Amino acid sequence: MSTTYRQPGVVLTDRTFTVPLDHADPEGETIELYAREVVASKDADRDLPWLVYLQGGPGFGANRFIGRPAWLDRALDEYRVLLLDQRGTGRSTPVNRQTLPLRGGPQAQADHLAHFRGDSIVRDCETIRPLVTGGATWTVLGQSFGGFCAVSYLSMAPEGLTAAVITGGLPSLDAHADDVYRAAYPRIERKVAAHYRRYPQDVERARRIADHLLAHEVTLPNGYRLTVEAFQSLGIVLGGGDGSHRLHFLLENAFVRTPGGPELSDAFQEEVQAQLSFAGHPLYALIHEAIYGQDARPTDWSAERVRAEFPQFDAAKALAGEGPLLFTGETIHPWLFDCDPALRPLRETAELLAARTDWTPLYDRARLAENEVPVAAAVYHDDMYVDTAHALETARSIRGLRTWVTDEFEHDGVRAGGPRVLDRLLALTRDEV
């Protein structure tokens, strides 16, 4: 059953679908997918082509838009849009610390989570596409991890696509997670350095907060243990267009005077826990490194291991000298499963995923080399989350792909750039620019 309702300028329809948990066993267990159909009010009764949006992540539901903001405004000029909550996210069958025990113990949970990568998401799309479009092809818009899924789509089921548009999401086709993070840490360091050039007063502020955390045990109101490493992970916001400003405003009022001396303020703690908690998106922490697993090599907490190769990120060493404290970025570490109450019950499950050695390939180089689907990709120069060199190497490996390399935007350009980013990429797929 579907429900239709209205917002300013758009008509929305809630849709649900049943798909196999394991597409290799189509008669086995099923899960539910949720998607929100959006069409311009004036076009509600028209037969339009479809665009399916794949959100970044992994582990995030699709955007909850109100009206026609950002890229959606441009898409609704000519498409019906399907905002898909990828499996395990949003209103689709949930996966979290509350539901995973239904699977059994940690090993059963880890085996279950192996079905939540990009290959399964593509098969979900192909399962529901005939139900949505009547069998017609559709255009996929993939942001970040959604772009990774779009490249898997081109590898696995290009016959389902009219075109593919990718924003900040061209993955390496064969890099191990270690290669991804060895490329990432220098980019993260550059973003931190740029932040401190913009806001030099934040050097001392960050050092003071880190000093306090090294000397005190701080537990946030939701039970999150705020260690200095967890504080450093706030640097993830530096990958967005307004991230440096957001970090600055967070740091500027960190302390409050109390009878017992300076303490981290309630307001600061509230903002930090909202930023750091994985309660709303635990899949991001659980399978983030698994999206880089494609062979018998375990990911084995890659970001944590590789970080040791970059001692400048060691907070204690930085504070012992005169150097600035370095924030980190889109990296998942084992200590997160001790700090975050939403993740603590899943620590053993996460360890089993990190040790897994039976990952299957997500991309098909041979098929991509013969690609006939029009593809365009925005590559954000020095993107904090996706390595530019890896992205351009992949772009050269996909026949016919056209790139738009720009430093006008950060990783969130498709949102921050309004209609312009999608408009340009659609034009590239049509050879109009």
Residues catalogued as catalytic: 144, 358, 411
In this predicted structure, the answer to whether residue 410 has a pLDDT above a threshold of 70 is: yes
Banded model confidence at residue 323, pLDDT cuts 50, 70, 90: confident
Q: What is the reported pLDDT for 433?
A: 87
In this predicted structure, the answer to whether residue 413 has a pLDDT above a threshold of 90 is: yes
Contact between 333 and 93 (Cβ < 8 Å): no
pLDDT tens for each residue of 333-389: 999 999 999 999 999 999 999 999 999 999 999 999 999 999 999 999 999 999 999
Instruction: Provide the pairing of β-strand 261-264 with 375-380.
Output: unpaired
pLDDT tens for each residue of 140-152: 999 999 999 999 9
In this predicted structure, the answer to whether residue 1 has a pLDDT above a threshold of 80 is: no
Q: What is the reported pLDDT for 26?
A: 96
Nearest CA-CA partner of 411 in 329, 323, 319: 329
pLDDT tens for each residue of 208-244: 999 999 999 999 999 999 999 999 999 999 999 999 9
Q: What is the reported pLDDT for 241?
A: 95
**Integer Cα distance of 335 and 224 in angstroms:** 12
Mean pLDDT of the chain, nearest integer: 97
Dihedral sign of CA atoms 101, 106, 107, 109 in order: positive
Banded model confidence at residue 322, pLDDT cuts 50, 70, 90: confident
Q: What is the reported pLDDT for 310?
A: 97
Average pLDDT rounded to a whole number, residues 112-119: 98
pLDDT tens for each residue of 153-179: 999 999 999 999 999 999 999 999 999
Helix, strand and coil percent figures for the chain, each rounded to 5: 45, 15, 40
With pLDDT > 70 as the criterion, what percentage of the chain qualifies? 100
pLDDT tens for each residue of 52-84: 999 999 999 999 999 999 999 999 999 999 999
Domains of the chain: 3-174+363-429 (3.40.50.1820), 177-354 (no CATH)
Average pLDDT rounded to a whole number, residues 103-113: 98
pLDDT tens for each residue of 14-46: 999 999 999 999 999 999 999 999 999 999 999
Task: State pTM to two decimals.
Answer: 0.97
Nearest CA-CA partner of 425 in 399, 405, 397: 405
H helix runs in 58-105, sequence order: 70-75
Burial (Cβ within 10 Å: 0-12, 13-18, ≥19) of residue 203? middle
Q: What is the reported pLDDT for 80?
A: 98
In this predicted structure, the answer to whether residue 308 has a pLDDT above a threshold of 90 is: yes
pLDDT tens for each residue of 122-142: 999 999 999 999 999 999 999
